[in-house]
Amino acid sequence: MSAPSKFLPPNAKPYSLNIVDNVVYATSAQHCGGNPNGVWALDLDSPEKGPSLFASSGGGLWGRAGAAIGTDGTVYAEVGDGPWDPDTGKYSDTILALTPRELKLKDYYTPTNREWITKRDLDMGSISPVVFPYKGRDLIVGAGKEGRLYLLDSKSLGGDDHRTALYRSELLTNEDVDFAGRGFWGSFATWEDAKGTRWVYVPAWGPLYPNVKFPVTNGDTPNGSIMAFKVEEKNGKPVLSMAWISRDMNVPEPPVIANGIVFAISSGEFVRQAKETGNGGLFTSQERAEHSTHAILYALDAETGKELYSSGDAITSFTHFGGLAIANGRLYLGTFDNTLYSFGFPMEH
């Protein structure tokens, strides 16, 4: 690969890199260094051509897992708040489907209440979509700060009007319509069990929406949780059916799954942005760090959410937009104080 500037411009802020068929994909946000927000691709077989870019014309893409790649190479990404005018190539609070390598627009889905989502700063760019095969085609799950899930069909993301999802959930979290520390953030995890059932696991910030009832619960969740769903058929169409909700977690990071166990981090981070007392204003990064506690690693049964393990007070700092890596029976995570932790788990379990 050539110099980094041949891929992303200097000072651009990539949120995740994925390599598929020798092509590197990244998403960017916050207009860092004055560079455009969008999806980037660099073909490692022809790096001298430089990167391809699909610019969102405004909205950032800061989902923790970057873009999702379908079985046919299609690139899926979620765009946050910004201008929306498809006729002029402007897409905000929208799920995009792009061609491999060249990143040409194939399809898109925009919620029918997009104007309200944008107005209330409930970006859909806060989480990366996830894609998985299902009965001969790919299905995509997306979400955002609003607290609602979308299930889309790769064959037609939003129907003829680009506004009709295959399945649109009820509101599951964020009763307060809060843009800062509520809703769905990070990225999903997905798993197919031995019976062929497809599961989707979602990190939720804040309490469950009133009147939402999961079949299996593991206590109240005032600070956050991992929500588990099954893909099931109803009236001839796939839907996301609520399965279980985990114990309480203080701002959960994206979960990962291995050997039938869901691993999740309660980050301990203080994520409030605006001060509600005194003279108002915004919390500084130092103030937010001082209000934070420490992270806790949990192992949960993938079918029930039952807590199997907790790291307790073993981790002494919080995580900020961190995540878990798993390899050879070890879990790795880094914390705000620049400490790298490693936990082991039996491979046969």
According to the model, what pLDDT value does residue 1 have?
Answer: 33
Task: Give the residue-averaged pLDDT of 277-301.
Answer: 88
Mean per-residue pLDDT for 81-96?
Answer: 93
pLDDT at 3: 37
Chain CA centroid to CA 58, Å: 19
Residue 83 pLDDT > 70: yes
Residue 349: pLDDT band by 50, 70, 90 thresholds?
very low
Q: Residues with Cβ < 8 Å from 61, sequence gap 6 or more?
A: 15, 27, 28, 29, 37, 38, 39, 67, 77, 78, 79, 80, 125
In sequence order, which residues have a C-beta less than 8 Å from that of residue 38 and are 6 or more positions away?
A: 27, 28, 53, 54, 55, 56, 61
Cβ distance 299 to 239 under 8 Å? no
Percent of the chain topping pLDDT 70: 94
For range 226-240, the mean pLDDT? 96
Pairwise pLDDT comparison (148 vs 346), residue with the higher score: 148
The predicted structure's pLDDT at residue 13: 52
Predicted TM-score of the model (pTM): 0.92
Residue 115 neighbours by CB under 8 Å, 6+ apart: 84
Average pLDDT, integer, range 252-279? 89
| pLDDT, tens only, 155-205 | 999 999 999 999 999 999 999 999 888 999 999 999 999 999 999 999 999
| Mean pLDDT of the residues in the chain | 91
Q: How confident is the model at residue 17 (pLDDT cuts 50, 70, 90)?
A: confident
pLDDT of residue 30: 81
Average pLDDT over residues 303-324: 94
Of 32 and 53, which is predicted with more confidence? 53
What's the pLDDT band for 7 if we cut at 50, 70, 90?
Answer: low
* pLDDT of 305 over the 60 cut: yes
For residue 8, the one-letter residue type is L
Average pLDDT over residues 261-288: 86
Percentage of residues in the chain having pLDDT higher than 90: 78
